[in-house]
Structure 1
Amino acid sequence: MAAPRILLAGDAVGRLNQLFKRVASVNKSAGPFDALLCVGQFFPDTSEQLEEFNDYIEGRSKVPIPTYFIGDYGVGAPKILSVVAKKSANLGFKMDGLEVFENLYWLRGSGKFTLHGLSVAYISGRHLSVSQQFGVYSQDDVDSLRALTDEPGIVDIFLTNEWPKGVTNGANPSSIPSGILDSPTGDSTISELVVEIKPRYHIAGSVGLYYDREPYANAGAVHVTRFIALAPVGNKVKQKFIHALSPTPASKMSAAEICTKPLNTTSSPYALAEQDESGNGSVKRSADSTSDSQYWRYDVTQKRQKHGDGHGDRLCFKYVSSGSCPRGEKCHFRHDEDAREQSIRGVCFEFLNKGKCERGTDCKFKHSLQEEGQGVSNRRSGSGRSNRSKECWFCLSSPSLESHLIISIGEYCYCALAKGPLVEDHVLIIPIEHLPNSLSLPPECEKDLFRLQSSLKAFFKGQGKEVVFFEWVSKRGTHSNVQAVPIPSSRASSVGQIFNLAAKKLGFTFETLQNDSSSEWRKTLQTHVDRNQSLFYVEVPGGTILLHIVDDNEKFPAQFGREVMAGLLNMPDKADWKNCQMSKEDETKMAASFKSQFEEYDPNN
């Protein structure tokens, strides 16, 4: 496949017509290009220039290619971006851009995402001492970025508004812009981040100059970094404000290609000097301070954010958020299993990550650390609507949740082993949002459900088993759960017959639907849910759905599916889950064993 083609631009300063006219021209003559990445101030300097911006917001002018910006400051930025942040499509933790209007995306705070195969990291805004909602990055944004980029893999492009302090150290003097030689500039925090992230390309703006530095070597990495700074759009001295790149993603390159160093490669500018009294050079962080900063976030015991200098009782962020820490016993921070269990519950990711969330009441997630028995999470917890039951066994935010049984968590659904299982690998697929049945799921959640079902089928097939899925959909239901019970392949052909016999004993007949790839059968079932009817369905191995619509005056056993499966497996004494309860210790071991075996099949791994 051809390498992605990317355009880079400096400070737009609200001159969108000039910027996009040039982009359209370059795209026509040398394109097509896949995206435009803008650094430096994106919004205008004066209110008079807002009319041009509004032409795009109101659709009178169009953005020619997908455009991403990080310079969320300038006249009009707070008003416009406040509206953008409240759009329903932009709620939740989105690192790949909040849509401002068609083809324009705001990269907010800090983050890392994949763009046409390229790994792109960014930190938005400037480093100012004043606190404001937009246009400024905080220490929390810095720590978050460190944690995100600590994962394996090379970052292809790193976007910052400000230059890194000391970037000209060791460079060819004739290539350095005179404005920089006369007045050294740069942000030491950006320098620290570049040293740690080691991107292949570092793009910056805001200084008002174009500068394409010679590539430099990185300590502890085989690849080089290229620093490119761009001038403002339409600058009077006609310095370059747009630049084209076509880098092959590092993930697609061979080891030999990644190791290649051009003849003009210099030493790292940040390894050549430490911060001196005159302010020249760059800051070198000790190995301990560099690696420690990303591992702690919040002291859950004290129920408040910690920012002290001492480690004290602070929690390891890596351990709480992911369940593991590469530092192991050498980590200076606390690896608390109770806090880890809390981390899979329902607090807003932005609040957990930054201690605040500007979405306020429009956000669907919790904005407070929970009391003991509840918890915090960096995952989506659901709708947060008033009808959520605090006693619901399946809500991630509930104190009744048996979190040690959870085996996989996706963006919209999670899997857990059944409490009082029919067999040890009896699995429940549960929407994270508090919905009464799986037929009410939005499309993106339904896709998550299908992925988990497919993975479970493949996992059990490798063990010589088939899996039976069934769900009791009650119009008085609280939180949906689709049950998945594995059976020996030798008994798969009997499933339909056994369920039909059980139905006959209860005096009804199943309607048979075909389980095709288009999932039309789910649309058929959804029509009954819309009529507020209860129903039971079972997915029989081989592609058949057995459906029963329950009449209002019909007494239908809620445990019907389990009772039939218990009979099929010759385990009639296990028809009632209460007869199958285990100790928490045994349940924990059972879940750990399942996760270990399921790891290679888990779509959320």
Structure 2
Amino acid sequence: MLLCVGSFFGPAAAAEWEEYRAGVKKAPIPTYVLGANDQDTVHYFPDVSGCELAENITYLGRRGVFSGASGLQIAYLSGTESQHEPALACNFSSKDVTELTTSLLSTPKFRGVDILLTSPWPRDVGNFGNSPGEIDPKKCGSALISNLAASLKPRYHFAALEKTYYERVPYRNHTVLQEAPQHVSRFIALADVGNTSKKKYLYAFSIVPMSVMDPAELVKQPQDVTENPYRKLRKEAHKAKTLVCAEEEPACQFFFDLNKSQGKKRSSDGKGGGNSQPKQPKKPPQPTGPCWFCLASPEVEKHLVVSIGTHCYLALAKGGLLPDHVLILPIGHYQSVVDLPGEVVEEVTKYKSALKEFFRSQGKRYVLFERNYKSQHLQLQVIPLPLNLCTAEDIKEAFITQAQEQQIDLVEIPEHSDIKQVAQPGAPYFYVELDTGEKLFHRIRKSFPLQFGR
């Protein structure tokens, strides 16, 4: 079987194509092609639902799923992205993507497709992955195809319109620590046939349909697997959709007008009724030896202290990366964020909010990290960076890229989640938090480079 992506008909294809149509020439193996990418070649495809163009050459159609006798599933989408409805014959729209996605996701026990064929690249496919060279995936390709790939979870995704070869390292289709492992996806872009640079335009491989694969074998994760490159796009699309819904259906707002105290547990200060006694705050554990960060310790370099709260204090970092590199530290002796009682966590949150407001007034954003490994007292490192030099996404991508280079499995966890939900007390970990609320986490199992965060 030969699958063709990109533009099947070249600018001077008419004469040669007539020989195939007349039967003078014949494709040696069954060949399946995508539709037109421009108006000039639309006439070659007489039926948008798919048809045989010549012996052994089949046009798959505008969109759909081709299922082989072996159980192999091939999803396909012809054309280039259009922002208008109805789309031209050489384009696809969000409606096409939605209908294709819905038709597959509605099937029982859907896990993904074996192959996805599109002509344009998916937007942002290079996120967290190896570089495609001269092509910038943030500026080319289709966001709709990114959403399609994220939904359909193809084991292999082929595209071709950028006319260069690029084989991205595999990426995950599940969220580590929150979802069961799923198969990985591989994106492969092919160059144009007969290109003078001799870039690869043919990719030969054998594939066992996922429907007959051993589940354990299917979900094996290769060593070079990365985070899903489309997560940010999907998050933005979801936010935009939510915003549109809020604007179009203001009546839905009553869901958010409920009394804030409703559904909460009765407070333990006795004001909620009953005879409950106020709880005494638990005393922090005592250090087993001298501690450089317990505020009451004579070892603390108090000239670096900036602010002292009830449970936490703020200090300049000794040997900081920048002049305004600061630490948030608990006054009592706690080893990690996971060990902090509620009142200390609350004050840490207040310090983070105050620092965010302060740094934003200075034209900066901060990145915070904690290394709970070979340290006895919690240190939240807070490092400000100029807003005009990097975005939050740049910072996150830099951490993930560096982690991959050092074989560190740094994964994104939901913004609303608590670090205590993913880290066990006493277990070492490395944790990053951006001032946008985005979080990255690595569970340390053996060794860890002490200066990684810096």
TM-score normalized with structure 2 length: 0.48
Higher helix share: 1
